[in-house]
Structure 1
Amino acid sequence: MIFTYNQKSVGDVLMVILADHQGQKLAAERKGRVTRIYRLDNQQTVAWNIFDASQIADLSGSGQIELSEDSLARFNTELGKEGFTEILEKDAEPKFVVGEITAMAPHADSDHLNICQVRVTDERTLQIVAGAPNAKVGLKTIVALPGAMMPNGSLIFAGQLRGVDSFGMMCSPRELALPNAPQKRGIIELPSTALVGAPFDANKHWSA
């Protein structure tokens, strides 16, 4: 669940992104200050827009933000007041973490994509389709997990690349908007001592 707020560019609206609509047609229903956006095919809620948001709770920041427990409770009260039964929940798990490529195989329908198995915790390995020319088994890099928002505002969701499931993205320095990032293609390369699963820290994980 991604919370974004940009009063200067968008207005006093808290936007909450729950899921990728996967190209399906969307509809919206508004009650009071709250708009629910959902897929027509299965009625799944994919986003909320909450208007006059700063009148409901104190908000600060521009772009992706974190809500305090008090602010979250206030917005959930607003949803309930308008008759919505769903609730907003904070996702405290980091969305950018150190990962290690443990296996890699060529994509059968591409001359540059590889199907990588990437360990992101001791217990969790994700399949990620990637075209980075420097990807190799044993490489440690920064992984954007499903639900991440990139510095340019794009969102990472589980999906498919040429028919193969992919559950995240291995990031280049440029995609992470790191200072003095090289312009050439390639994911960030971390030392072998980097701890798998550690949250991304630009001061710790990057030096130009």
Structure 2
Amino acid sequence: MNLFYNPEGVGDVAFLQLEPVTGPVNYDKKGNVVTLYQDDQVVGFNIFEASQAGVEGNGHIKLTEDLVNAFQQQLDKAGVNYQLSVDLSPKFVVGYVESKEKHPNADKLSILKVDVGDEQLQIVCGAPNVEAEQKVVVAKVGAVMPSGMVIKDAELRGVPSSGMVCSMKELNLPNAPKEKGIMVLDDSYSVGQPFFED
């Protein structure tokens, strides 16, 4: 679930995105809540007077347990029968590249096994500088990149990939190098720790 809020451009309306969708959506308004549907599936909510729920800032807003509870109260108050379920675990974490194999169908892609602390992810990566035994920044499924792109499970040239190993440029960090390549971390980082502190 992702939360977007632009009070200057749109007004005091929070957009809760449950599923990334393209194409037309249907909607139903009850009280301060507009439920967005596509093919009878709830894909998001527009919640008016969002500042009353404690939303602050501009752009992509980090969800907290308090915000989720406040939005749930708004849905309940409007008579919307929907239970919000949110994974609030960190989405940008330190990973350890356990192995690197050549992609069977693409010369410039590698298949990585990456330990992110609580699980091992298979990630297809095209960075020229990625190697086994590196500590890297991993954007897990559900992460929202600074560009607005949402990381999803994908298949690249026939190989499943869950997450993305990030470059400094992709993370919008200052002094990012011009050359292509992932960000390699030093040993002061622990596998599984959040990369961005709250």
Does structure 2 retain, via aligned residues, the 8 Å contact 1:39–1:45? yes
2:22 pairs with 1:53 = no
2:92 pairs with 1:104 = no
TM-score where L is the length of structure 1: 0.83
1:17 to 1:184, Cα distance in 2 relative to 1, 3 A: same
SS in 1 for 2:175: coil
Q: Deviation at 1:69? A: 4.7
1:70 to 1:179, Cα distance in 2 relative to 1, 3 A: closer
- Paired residue for 1:206? none
Q: Deviation at 1:26? A: 5.2
Aligned residue-pair number: 196
1:108 to 1:46, Cα distance in 2 relative to 1, 3 A: farther
- Paired residue for 1:205? none
2:88 pairs with 1:92 = yes
- Paired residue type of 1:16: L
Cα RMSD, aligned residues only: 2.2
2:176 pairs with 1:181 = yes
- Paired residue for 1:27? 25
2:194 pairs with 1:199 = yes
1:103 to 1:37, Cα distance in 2 relative to 1, 3 A: farther
CA distance in 2, matches of 1:70, 1:135: 39
- Paired residue for 2:154? 159
CA distance in 1, matches of 2:68, 2:46: 14
- Paired residue for 2:13? 13
1:70 to 1:94, Cα distance in 2 relative to 1, 3 A: closer
Mapping of residues 69-84 of structure 1, within 5 Å? 69-84=65-80
Structure 2, unaligned runs of 5 or more? none
- Paired residue for 1:190? 185
CA distance in 1, matches of 2:154, 2:35: 23
Moved more, 102-111 or 137-146: 102-111
Q: Percent same amino acid among aligned pairs?
A: 42
Q: Deviation at 1:162? A: 2.1
Deviations 1:5-46 (A, max 9, x none): 12123332211122344x6x5532222332233342xx4433
- Paired residue type of 2:74: E
Deviations 1:120-165 (A, max 9, x none): 01x4011111101011111111011111111122211222222222
Mapping of residues 125-164 of structure 1, within 5 Å? 125-164=120-159
- Paired residue type of 1:117: K
Structure 1, unaligned runs of 5 or more? 203-208
CA distance in 2, matches of 1:10, 1:116: 41
- Paired residue type of 1:28: N
